[in-house]
Structure 1
Amino acid sequence: MKVNLSMRDMETVLLLGRVLNFRQAAAQLHLSQSALSAQILRIEEALGVRLFERTTRTVRLTAAGEVFVRQSAYVQAAFREAVDAVSGIAHAERGHVAVAAMPSLAAKLLPRVLMAFQRAHPAVTFKVFDTLSGPAFDLVRAGEVDFALTAADPEQVDLQYEAMMSDRFVLLIPKSHALARGKGPIRWADTVHLSHISMTHPSSVRQYSEWAFLQNRIRFQPLFEAERLQTIAAMVECGFGVAALPEIAASTVAHPGIVERLLTAPVTRRSIGLVTARNRTLSPAAAALLGILRAHLAERRDHTTRSR
C-alpha cells in the first residue's frame, strides 16, 4: 500500500491528538473546522484506518490513532534534528574537517590556526594528517581530507594548487663547526665537501636540495637520510654533519647547539600552498577554517614586513 502523507499531515494529527478539539486545533492551524475535518478524513482514507472517534461532544484517539501519534512524534523529532544538523553544517556550526599538512606546518603553523577555529566553531571536529608532500596529494585525491597544505609539485596536475607562502633554505650547522662562526649567506657549492643529512624521498626538502645542487652541476649525495626533522636536528647538534632545510622546518627544531646560515647561489625558495580537488566544493566548516588560515598568513606577512 502506497501512502502519500506529508510532514504537514503528521503535524495536524499530532496537534489534534494533543488538544482533542477540532475547534481549538483548527484555530491553531489557521484553518476552518470543515477544512480540518476534510484533511483528517483524507489522512484516514490514505492510511485505511480511523485515527479519531468523534461525537458531537467528544474527540478521542483510536488504538491506531495512538500508535500513529506516537510514531509521528518520533518522526517529527528526527526531522527537526536533521534540519538542525544540516543548518549547523551549512553555517559551519557543526561538521568535521580533515587537513593534511607537512610536519613543519603541522607543528609550527596549524596549532594557532586550529585554536582560533575551535574558539569560533566549538562543535566542529577536525583531524590533522601530519605527512610528507607526496602522501598529502594522495589524501586530497582520495577525498580523505578537505585540503592539504604542502609544497608545490608540478606533476600533480589533476589537483588544484594555490601558492600561499614560501620559505628560503638555510644550512643547519653544529655550533662547534668552523662554518658556525661565519656570518652571512653560504653558497650551496661550498657545502659539497660537508657530510649532509637529508630527508628521504619523496619529501619536497630532498627534491629542492637536489635541484639546488644541480644548478651548480653537482649531484647531491647525502651521507645520512632520515624521515623526521627531529632526527636530522639531533644528528646535526651532535656534530654528525650539516642539513639544508627550509626556514619553517628549521624553526621547529631550533636548538642552542645549532647555527643557521642562509643558502645562496641559488637562493632556494620552497613554495607552500593549498591543495584541493578541482571538482569538489569545500564544506562550510572547511571553508571557514581556510578563511582563518588566510587571515593568519596575512597577519604573518604584515608582521614580517614591519620587522624589516
Structure 2
Amino acid sequence: MHINLSMRDIETVLVLGRTLNFRQSADQLHLSQSALSTQIRRIEDDLGVKLFDRTTRTVRLTVAGEVFLRQAVVLRNVFRDALDAIAGAASGARGRVAVAALPSLAATLLPPVLMKYHLAHPEVELKVYDTLSGAAFDLVRSGEVDFALTAADPQQADLQYDPMMSDRFVLLIPIDHRLARAKGPIRWADTIDYPHVSMTHPSSVRQYSEWAFLQNKIRFQPLFEAEHLSTIAAMVECGFGVAALPQIAAAIVGHRRIVKRLLTAPLTKRSIGLVTARSRTLSPTAAALLATLQDYLSPKGGIVSDR
C-alpha cells in the first residue's frame, strides 16, 4: 500500500479531530467547507480507512481515527523538532562539533576556548580527541572531526593546513644537572653528550628534534623514549636525562625539580595550525568554534610560545 500524506494533511486531521466541526475547522485552516470535505475524503481513501463518522449534525472519530490522531500528534512533534534542529544547526546554535588536537594543546589552549564557546552555545555537543599529529590528520580525513589543531606535515598535502601560531623548543633539565646552571639559552649541540628522553616516532616533537640536530650535522639518538609528556617529565625529574619539548608542552609540566631553558642554534619553532578537509565546508557550529579560537588567539598575536 502506497500512502502519500503531507504534513498539511496531518495538520488538517488534527484540527478536525480537535474541533469535530467542519465549519470551525475550515475557518481555522482557511479553506471552504467543501474543500475541507474533499481533502478529508482523499486522506481516508489514501489510508483505506474512515477516520470520521459524519452526519448532517455530528462528526465523530472512528476507532481508526482515534489511533491516527494520537500518532499524528507524535508525527507533528517529531517534524517540528526536526525543523528546529535544522534551524539550530544552520544558525550554529545546536549540533555537534568534534576537534582533534595535540595533547599539549588540548590541555592548555583548548579548555578556555571550549568554555567560552560552550557558554555561548550551550546546546552544542563538544567532543575533543587529544592525539598525536598523524592520528589527527587521519581523523580529519575520515570526517570524524571537523578540524584539527596540530603541527605541520608536508606529507599530508591532501588536507588544508593554515598556520595559526608557532611554538619554540625548550630543554627540560633535572634541577641538579650541570646544564641547569646555565642562565641563558642552550645550544642543541651542547646537549648531545647527555642522555635524552624523547617522544616516540611519528610524533612531531621527535621530527623537529631530529631536524634541529641535523642542522648541526648530528644524528639524534635518544637513550630513552616515551609517548606521554607526563612520563617524559617524570623521567627527567628522576635524572634519566634531558628532554627537548615545545614550550606549549613544557608549560603543562608541573614538576618542581625541573629547569627549562630555551634551545637555540637553531632557534627551533614548531608551526601549529588548523587542519581541514579541502572538500568539506565547516558546519555552522564548527565555524563558530573556529571563530572563538581565532578571537582567543588574536589579542595575543597568535604566538602561543611568546606569551
TM-score, normalising length from structure 1? Answer: 0.93
Moved more, 41-50 or 193-202: 41-50
Q: Which residue of 2 aligns with 1:106?
A: 106
Q: What is the aligned partner in structure 2 of residue 91 from structure 1?
A: 91
Residue 209 of structure 1: SS of its match in structure 2?
A: helix
Deviation of 1:212 after TM superposition, in Å, equals 0.6
1:142 aligned partner: 142
Task: Report what 2:9 is aligned to.
Answer: 9
Paired residue type of 1:259: V
CA distance in 2, matches of 1:100, 1:52: 57
Q: In 1, distance between residues paired with 2:305 and 2:248?
A: 17
Unpaired runs of 5+ residues, structure 1, are none
1:22 deviates by 1.1
Which residues in structure 2 correspond to 1:1-308 (within 5 Å)?
Answer: 1-301=1-301
Unaligned runs of 5+ in 2: none
Identity across matched positions, percent: 72
Give the CA deviation at 1:165.
0.6
Query: Aligned Cα RMSD in Å?
Result: 2.0
For residues 223-262 of structure 1, give each alpha carbon's deviation from its aligned partner in whole angstroms, at most 9, with x where no partner exists: 1111111111112222221111111111111433222221
1:306 Cα offset (Å): 11
Give the letter for the 1:83 counterpart: L
Range with greater deviation from structure 2 (246-255 or 61-70): 61-70
Shift of 1:109: 0.9
Distance in 2 separating the partners of 1:209 and 1:241: 15
Give 3-state SS (helix, strand or coil) of 1:281's partner.
coil
Distance 1:27 1:254, change over 3 A: same
Q: Deviations over 1:105-163 (max 9, x none)?
A: 11111111111122112222222212111111112122222211110000011111111
Runs of 4+ in 1 over 4 A off after TM superposition: 302-307
> Conserved in 1, the CA contact under 8 Å of 2:248 and 2:304?
no
Q: How many residues align?
A: 307
Compute the displacement of 1:67 (Å).
2.5
Q: What is the DSSP-based 3-state SS (H/G/I as helix, E as strand, rest coil) of the residue aligned with 1:291?
A: helix
8 Å contact from structure 2 (residues 165, 302) kept in 1: no
How far, CA to CA, are the matches of 1:303 and 1:150 in structure 2? 14
Cα deviation digits, residues 22-46 of structure 1 (max 9, x gap): 1111111112222222222222333
Please report the TM-score for the alignment, with normalisation by the length of structure 2.
Answer: 0.93
